[in-house]
Structure 1
Amino acid sequence: MEIKGSSMIAGVGAFLPKQRVKSDDLMLESRCFRFGTPVDYISKSIGIIERRISDEHVLPSDMAIEASHVALIDASIAASELDLIIYCGIDRDWQEPATSHRIQVELGALNASCFDVSNACHGFMDGISIANSFIESGSARKVLVCTGEKPSRVLYMALKELRQVKSKLAFKRMLGALTVGDAGGAMVIQAKGESDSGGLQWMQSYSEGKHADLCYYRHTKDGYDGQMLMREITLQIAKLHKRLIEKTYDNLCWLPSDVDRLYCHQVGEKPHATLVGIANKTLDSAPITYPQFGNLTSASIPVNMYLNPPEKGDKLLIMGTGSGLSVCQAGMVF
């Protein structure tokens, strides 16, 4: 799928819980030494030192609301000006209704329509694409794309299972669940003005559903079932991004040297370096958040952009990723 841009980022926001949980502590609690896995495997081999964990009573919408307040202030608009709210989290307050309805009420965005979108870690980039389509059609001018992720719930379910597994293979299947962290992220996407030459320039996305079994979790009558085959996911994601990158640069009419900032989905040191290499960029052009915050799932891109803001006029390349597998590449002028 390919789209041309009619929109621009007007504001970016994030929320990060205060509680820090170290990877080495989680690994020690998992009793990883039973299988010869070092306690510092996640912190040293993957590069995730710690992550933030929200309080038990905190809902996904709470984190999305906090991030959205920041994004609205950054955009210098009132919530009442929003035409649409798109919530993109894997985690939701409930199955029905859409979590975006609570966000609408708490923000006071009573003029906005709202709905939820879900596509694993790729959801936020899909939200931006949908927001652009609404703006291009004239159905909306100001759209809030937001997420609140609480994967710590899965982390602790997996940790309980990891303490009990009896095979190294089963331990390896579930270990990736300890790499995640909680966060909220938001962007205000609005129509370009007549004098605006920036904003979203071009975006393409692609999915290969045959890889869906590489990363999944589900609730069963016995509790939790899931796996995250990190090495295999990285290999397949790299293949998909390699397939797209030449077309992305061609349609943007950019050379790699034109890109000022590269924002990648954050899962660890080696996958990050791989994506940076595919884009033919250097690591100093691609800010990271994974050492302190881990894999923030769908909040990864907005949190990274909030913590490492681009300068006005910067050319941004965004490389999104989600289990399934889904990838996207987008070019923006900030």
Structure 2
Amino acid sequence: MIIKGNCQIAGIGAYFPEQVVTSKELMFEINSEKNYGLSESWLDDVCGIEKRRVARPDELPSTLAIKAGEEALRTSGISPSEIDAVIFCGISKEWIEPSIAHKVQYELGCTNAICFDVSNACHGFMNGIMIADQFMQGSNATHVLVVTGEVTTDITSHYIDKLKKNKADLKKEIGALTLGDGGAAMILTPKTDTRGFQFYNLYTNGKYADLCKIGATKNGYNGQMVMGKISSMMIRLHSAMIEKTYSYLNWSSLDVGRFICHQVGKKPHIRMSSMANVSPEITPISYKDYGNIATVTIPFNIYNAKPEHGEKVLVGGAGSGMSISQSGIIF
């Protein structure tokens, strides 16, 4: 599916908990050398993930989203009352209903905004952007706040307990040890010139849903995160789409100033740069210090990259399922 872009970024924010937990600490906790034959530096060496942020018990998904939303409002100069819609896109939730977006709307004072949640694994934030984009075309909305807050390290804690007791398959659960917590937010407004989102290229194939699947149970979580296979499939699907994406954007790889993509570790990140035919030097890295931060990844890397006026940014989104997207932004 191809969708024409109608919006631009007016403000962006990010927030991370203060607590830092290293990968070596996690591997030490499961006694990785004795129980699994892996050194304590394995996550650092193979995945490239050295540490991640971990939320306190009182830091909920909405807490992280609200903190990021506050910064997005500040950087945009837009008042909360001007926000027409709030869309929460995280995997993590502190309750089943109502939507987390309701709490974000109330706490930020976005009293005129409709609100709802969107869920699509790590691809959720990109879906939120696309929905906001369509609001710009099909409604009177002029300011949409897309937010996320991820506290996925509770999954890590669950699997650490199982791995300590040799009650889990490390190869199938290794993805749980790569997760990190954080929040991100973006305020979108209609395009006023050629700047902003240009096109979105979307693809989904539910055949691969079992590769990364986590469900809640009375005792915590069950499922698997087979990161090697899902990463390979992600890159294969991206590779099949990239020529069409460049064609719709009327760009070549030489036009790309930054490549922002979903990140699960070192090797897939290098292969994603190769897929887009761009240098790894223009592909920002967050996995090293923050791990796999799920829906926070793309907005945070845009936030951190601070693209220059007129710079062309290629975006590669992905989420288990599999859902894939590619899009282009002119800043």
TM-score of the alignment, normalized to the shorter chain, above 0.5: yes
Counterparts of 1:266 and 1:236 in 2: how far apart (Å)? 14
Higher mean C-alpha deviation, range 140-149 or range 130-139: 130-139
Runs of 4+ in 1 over 6 A off after TM superposition: none
Aligned to 1:46: 47
Deviation at 1:166, TM superposition (A): 5.3
- Unaligned ranges ≥5, structure 2: none
**Paired residues for 1:135-174 under 5 Å:** 135-165=136-166, 170-174=169-173
Give, in angstroms, the shift of residue 93 of structure 1.
2.1
What is the rounded CA distance, in whole Å, between the counterparts of 1:104 and 1:220 in structure 2?
30
Correspondence 1:211 to 2:208: yes
Classify the secondary structure of the residue corresponding to 1:226. strand
Sequence identity, in percent? 45
Q: Tell me, yes or no, if structure 1 residue 103 matches structure 2 residue 104.
A: yes
Q: Does 1:301 align with 2:298?
A: yes
Q: Which amino acid aligns with 2:19?
A: Q
Please list, as runs of the form range in 1=range in 2, the aligned pairs for 1:47-62 lying within 5 A after superposition: 47-62=48-63
Which AA in structure 1 matches 2:160?
A: L
Residue 133 of structure 1 aligns with an amino acid whose one-letter code is Q
Which AA in structure 2 matches 1:8? Q
Corresponding letter in the other structure for 1:97: P
Unaligned ranges ≥5, structure 1: none
Equivalent residue of 2:141, what SS? coil
How does 1:216-227 map onto structure 2 within 5 Å?
216-227=213-224
C-alpha displacement of 1:18: 0.8
**Is 1:88 matched with 2:102?**
no
SS at match of 2:107: helix
Tell me by how many angstroms 1:72 deviates: 1.1
2:75 counterpart residue number:
74
The answer for the alignment partner of 1:5 in structure 2 is: 5
Mapping 1:221-236, distance limit 5 Å: 221-236=218-233
Displacement of 1:224 in angstroms is 2.1
1:18 aligned partner: 18
Rounded to whole Å, the distance in 2 between the matches of 1:49 and 1:263 is: 20
TM-score, L = length of structure 2? 0.98
SS at match of 2:66: helix
Cross-structure match for 1:180: 179
- The structure 2 residue matched to 1:323, chosen from 320, 324, 327, is 320
TM-score norm. by structure 1 comes to 0.97
- The alpha carbon displacement at 1:179 in A equals 0.3
2:126 aligned partner, one-letter code: M
Aligned length: 330
Q: Could you say what secondary structure the match of 1:17 adopts?
A: coil
Cα distance in 1, alignment partners of residues 76 and 272 from structure 2: 30
For 2:172 and 2:105, the matched residues in 1 are separated by 38
**CA RMSD across the alignment:** 1.0
Which whole-Å CA distance do the structure 2 matches of 1:231 and 1:110 have between them? 44
Q: State the alpha-carbon separation in 1 of the partners of residues 264 and 9 from structure 2.
A: 24
Q: Distance in 1 between matches of 2:212 and 2:41?
A: 23
Q: Which amino acid aligns with 2:121?
A: A
Secondary structure of the equivalent of 2:75?
helix
| 1:184-195 matched pairs, under 5 angstroms | 184-193=183-192
Tell me how far apart the structure 1 counterparts of residues 173 and 318 of structure 2 sit (CA, whole Å).
20
- Within 2, Cα distance between the matches of 1:199 and 1:8? 4
Give secondary structure in 2 for the equivalent of 1:13: strand
